[in-house]
Amino acid sequence: MDEAEEREQTQQRAEHGPLAGFTVGVTAARRADELGALLERRGATVLHAPALRIVPLADDGELLAATKEIIDQAPDVVVATTAIGFRGWVEAAEGWGLGEGLLARLHQVELLARGPKVKGAIRAAGLSEEWSPSSESMAEVLDRLLEQGVDGRRVAVQLHGEPLPGFVEALRAGGAQVVPVPVYRWLPPEDPGPLDRLLDAVVSGGIDALTFTSAPAAASLLSRAQERGLLAELLAAFAHDVLPACVGPVTAVALQAHGVDTVQPERFRLGPLVQLLCRELPGRARALPVAGHRVEIRGHAVLVDGELKPVPPAGMALLRALARRPGWVVARAELLRTLPGAGRDEHAVETAMARLRTALGTPKLIQTVVKRGYRLALDPAADAKYADG
């Protein structure tokens, strides 16, 4: 390939986006539209199914009880962990007629903010933080508290719907009296239908990556899979075909407890999560030199010399079967077994193959070997390489 052809292919890839041809599942309940839009702008097909729902703050009796406790008996330290949670706490307190009392009490305590967004929420409420870690890490917050000593001190911790592994336990082990402040609560979705459809897509190979932005979402998905008897299939999909992408290490805990290897960005934000997928998914795609063309096999589409070719599911099943042994003849009977719901009629292979060739727009990519089956027309140099390997 000369430089002009390479530039043309690069331009084509830029036009259709780095995630074109891939399907990405979104399990988020909050900011799902934002994440979905970021993925779609980069070419992905998005399948959204919230794995949980959020109980409104004003309806949460535990938050009301914690707020009254803090107003009645001032803690020594309050740890604010999320901006949306802190703002919601103040708004809920105002709705209960406790807003002035809560803000007055927070003016009197040592207020720690996990990161810059939380600092902004604190200052918007007319308060000021005592300290905030540069790393946005709860581990650094914990280190500071333990270094200062927490024995005999009351520490209120704003939880944010997901576990803080070891954080509360370490404070209590250090002698602190911990007051949990549950600013919102996760529950399973009222309608499990969309989540079930997402699970079915994952275990059937219809998803290339699944995103998680909270630990409860991952735990909820695993729990639903277990209820339906699909947990083993789900874990197998994560091990072989589906990339589990988490916004950060806390979110990944539930998956890792089941032996699932996850990926997460260095910065725990939606933008870096999408950028990570833009690197990881194309890097996992199979690229082959076939009949003088560069063929890259993605989730539900194929790039032929950088041009995106959508392919129906049956065609993708055939193409993947051929690509497992590039250049080798694959018998019709074997190809038939890869077709979903095809039965025993080998004519179904011929029909799906004709549609595949039409979708690719380059019929010579796949050769018919009379009375034997089909093969990818691997370039001669590549043919030798695969034969030697």
Angle between helices 83-95 and 116-124 (to 10 degrees): 20
Instruction: Output phi, psi for 205, to 5 deg.
Output: 85, 15
* Rounded Cα–Cα distance for residues 151 and 158 (Å): 20
Instruction: Output phi, psi for 339, to 5 deg.
Output: -80, 125
State the Cα torsion 112-116-117-121 to the nearest 10°: 50
344 vs 105, 353, 368, CA distance in Å?
74, 16, 20
* Rounded Cα–Cα distance for residues 57 and 90 (Å): 10
Complete DSSP assignment for 62-92: HHHHHHHHHHHS--SEEEE--HHHHHHHHHH
- In single-letter form, the type of residue at position 148 comes to Q
Whole-model pTM: value is 0.74
- In single-letter form, the type of residue at position 36 comes to G
What is the bridge-based pairing of β-strands 366-369 and 330-331?
unpaired
Domains, the chain:
22-52+189-284 (3.40.50.10090), 55-186 (3.40.50.10090), 286-388 (1.10.10.10)
- For the chain, the C-alpha Rg in angstroms (whole number) is 26
- Supply 16's token pair: 């259709």
* Rounded Cα–Cα distance for residues 98 and 154 (Å): 21
Sign of the four-CA dihedral 11, 16, 20, 21: negative
**Backbone torsion region of residue 281, taken as left when φ is above 0, otherwise alpha when ψ lies between -120 and 50, otherwise beta:** alpha
pLDDT at 215: 83
- In single-letter form, the type of residue at position 178 comes to V
Complete DSSP assignment for 81-150: --HHHHHHHHHHHHHTT-HHHHHHHHHTSEEEESSHHHHHHHHHTT---SB--TT--HHHHHHHHHHH--
Per-residue pLDDT 10s for the chain (389 aa) are 455 455 444 444 446 799 999 999 999 987 899 999 999 999 999 999 999 988 766 677 889 999 999 999 999 999 999 888 898 899 999 999 999 999 999 999 999 998 888 999 999 999 999 999 987 788 899 999 999 999 999 999 998 755 566 889 999 999 999 999 988 777 889 999 999 999 999 998 899 999 999 888 999 999 999 999 999 999 999 999 899 999 988 788 889 999 999 999 988 789 999 999 999 999 988 889 999 999 999 999 999 998 999 999 999 999 999 999 888 999 999 999 988 765 677 788 999 999 999 999 988 999 999 889 999 998 876 544 444 44
pLDDT at 389: 42
With H, G, I as helix, E, B as strand and everything else as coil, classify residue 216.
helix
